[in-house]
């Protein structure tokens, strides 16, 4: 499953480390999420979406609507 974490992070002008700091994860964890070697929990999808100002459904790739 292709997620939009990297796309949204770059659009927000954040590094992996900056996003990780916001949601309480390491840069390495964000990297693993972006390349689909690890999957966030449901709660983490919500945290990531909030930090990136998009809906969880958009971030996961289930919707084309960015709104929260």
Query: Contact, 60 vs 3, CB < 8 A?
Result: yes
Q: Is the pTM of this model over 0.85?
A: yes
Q: Alpha-carbon distance 22 to 64, whole Å? A: 24
* N- to C-terminal Cα separation, the chain: 21
pLDDT tens profile 17-62: 999 999 999 999 999 999 999 999 999 999 999 999 999 999 988 8
Buried b (16+ CB within 10 A) or exposed e, 27-57: eebbbebbeeeeebeeebbebbbebbebbbb
CATH 1.10.3720.10 fits 5-60, yes or no: no
Cα(64)–Cα(55) distance, integer angstroms: 10
């Amino acid at each position: 499953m292709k997620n939009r974490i990297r796309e949204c992070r770059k659009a927000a002008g954040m590094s992996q480390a900056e996003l990780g700091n916001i949601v309480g994860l390491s840069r390495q964890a964000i990297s693993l999420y972006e390349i689909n070697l690890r999957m966030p929990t449901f709660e983490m999808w919500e945290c990531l979406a909030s930090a990136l100002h998009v809906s969880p459904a958009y971030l996961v790739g289930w919707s084309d609507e960015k709104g929260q």
